[in-house]
Structure 1
Amino acid sequence: MPYSMMLDAGHGGRDPGAVYEGRKEADDTLRLTLAVGEILQNHGIDVLYTRTEDVYETPFQKAMEANNAGVDFFLSIHRNSFPTDNQVSGVESLVYNLSGLKYQMAQDINEQLESIGFVNLGVKERPNLVVLKRTKMPAVLVEAGFINSDVDNNLFDKNLDSIAQAIAEGVLDSLDNAGVIRDSDYRVQVGAFRNRVYAERLLAELMELDYPAYINDDGPYYRVQIGSYQDLNEAAEMERKIKRAGYPAVIVK
């Protein structure tokens, strides 16, 4: 059975969330959540969403959706705000309490986002938030930068794919370290680099061709890979497609 997660894009519909110079939190969270979900699905995670369009549900409804679906984990993605514009920047994650897998995952996500260039404001305990309190599974709420910080907005707009990758890698690292998932499936590797810039360049090329590529940085190299296949034949089919497109490819586990 694959591990399952409910991804929640904060706010939506009649609730735009925080607004800064016409920019709506609900729009940013939806774009980022869908990008994170695609990466997690490519790694074999069974992903469900509280919303995939601009609609409104109460936090309680979202928590109940996750409970009724019986998912293993709940991840809510938001953007932060501060009373004074351009005074505070950075990412933080919120959990019901500072213990267990949820706390480790929140820390891993923050560390990955810090590598993108965000200030790491740490993990905070928020036991009164409905999506953290009423969900029956471990839950994390990620504040992906301050929407009224020009610094954070610039990072967000220029690095959306990398931010999504960072959040997904934080999730996957914590699950793997906890023994929840194991890296045993077949993957198609297209390149391995010591310099992340070269890996990101190849990643952009492959994504432009609609290949579900990602960067695996578990080890001394930045490895550009595609998929997570339990069936060797499926991996071999993708390997042939990549080679026909003019790229070197090899199946790895």
Structure 2
Amino acid sequence: MPYSIMLDAGHGGRDPGAVYNGRQEKTDTLALTLAIGQILQERGIDVLYTRTTDIYESPYQKAMEANEADVDFFISIHRNSFPKPNAVSGVESLVYDKSGIKLEMAENINEQLEGIGFVNLGVKARPGLVVLRRTKMPAVLVEVGFINSDTDNMLFDDNFSDIALAIAEGILDTLGINTPAVPLPDENEIPVAPLPDENEAPITPLPDENVSPVIPLPPRYTVQVGAFRNAMYAERLQQELSELDFPASITEGNGLYRVMVGVFPTLADAADMERLLRSAGYQTVIVSQ
């Protein structure tokens, strides 16, 4: 049975979180959380979100959502702040107490982010935080750099995809889920093509008059918004999208329930829909059918 994780994009709605030069924590955390979720889903994890748009929920509500969903882990994504701008930089992760698998996961996430170039400020126990104290499952709150550090913001913006992958890898390493290695070809082995038989004349097949030529259909495009191993999560996202008037549907294949929006004759049409979905806060991928 696959692991399930609830990802929480810190703050949201009327709560912008930390703000620096017009930059809002809630915006950074939502974009990063959706990117992390996409990677985890592709690696077979059932992912739920406390929010996928710019809405407000209290920390208590988020903890209760995780408990009611009975997920295996709760990961909250934040940006840090310091009273004096550009005085401190780095990443740190917070846990209820420094024990168990949550500590291991926090350390693995920090190490992965250190590899991106962040200063590793370590793991700290914060038993007073609601999302760490009220959740019944192992919970980690990740502070992905200081929002009032120009150094950290440059790292965040220039390495966004790598940061999402680093956090996902830290989680997957803790769970023992690794990408299988692809064997490399033997550099010392030279492939040898078979020589043609000199006594055998090449045979050119004659066309079959009764077979009509197959004319390939032009490609069609759709926009994927999520992929889940649990149908309930896919149905929940489809309903959410439908309420926002997006033409969402679910396709099943290879053990995944994929939430798709629309079918478009051109890539440009699909790109227009993708932009609408991204502006609504969703992580998307255009798929050719």
TM-score where L is the length of structure 1: 0.72
> What are the equivalent positions in structure 2 for 1:192-203 lying under 5 Å apart?
none
Identify, as 1 or 2, the structure richer in helix. 1
Counterpart residue number, 2:157: 157
Structure 2 letter corresponding to 1:71: V
Q: How many residues align?
A: 191
Cα deviation per residue 1:181-232 (whole Å; 9 max; x = unaligned)? x55x9x796999xxxxxxxxxxxxxxxxx99xxxxxxxxxxxxxxxxx977x
Give, in whole Å, the separation in 2 of the partners of 1:130 and 1:164: 24
Residue 68 (1) aligns with residue 46 (2): no
CA shift, 1:149, in A, is 0.1
Counterpart residue number, 2:34: 34
Give, in whole Å, the separation in 1 of the partners of 2:174 and 2:182: 23
Structure 2 letter corresponding to 1:64: M
Counterpart residue number, 1:78: 78
Calculate the aligned-residue CA RMSD, in Å.
2.4
**Relative to 1, partners in 2 of residues 1:189 and 1:122: Cα closer, same or farther, differing over 3 Å?**
same
Give, in whole Å, the separation in 2 of the partners of 1:13 and 1:157: 22
**Relative to 1, partners in 2 of residues 1:117 and 1:43: Cα closer, same or farther, differing over 3 Å?**
same
CA shift, 1:2, in A, is 1.0
Structure 1 letter corresponding to 2:13: G
Give, in whole Å, the separation in 2 of the partners of 1:190 and 1:78: 38
CA shift, 1:94, in A, is 0.1
SS class of match (1:154): helix
Give, in whole Å, the separation in 2 of the partners of 1:3 and 1:191: 30
CA shift, 1:86, in A, is 0.3
Identity of aligned residues (%): 71
Structure 2 letter corresponding to 1:72: D
Give, in whole Å, the separation in 1 of the partners of 2:82 and 2:150: 12
- Could you tell me which runs of 5 or more consecutive residues in structure 1 were left unpaired when the two chains were aligned: 177-181, 193-209, 212-228, 232-253
Counterpart residue number, 2:238: none
Counterpart residue number, 1:169: 169
Give, in whole Å, the separation in 2 of the partners of 1:168 and 1:126: 22
Structure 2 letter corresponding to 1:151: T
Structure 2 letter corresponding to 1:25: E
SS class of match (1:74): strand
Residue 127 (1) aligns with residue 127 (2): yes
Which aligned runs of 4 or more in structure 1 are off by greater than 3 angstroms? Answer: 187-192
Give, in whole Å, the separation in 2 of the partners of 1:173 and 1:148: 30
**Relative to 1, partners in 2 of residues 1:114 and 1:188: Cα closer, same or farther, differing over 3 Å?**
closer
Counterpart residue number, 2:142: 142
SS class of match (2:51): coil
TM-score where L is the length of structure 2: 0.63
Q: Return the index of the structure with the highest Cα Rg.
A: 2
Counterpart residue number, 1:250: none
Counterpart residue number, 2:106: 106
SS class of match (2:152): helix
Give, in whole Å, the separation in 2 of the partners of 1:13 and 1:159: 26
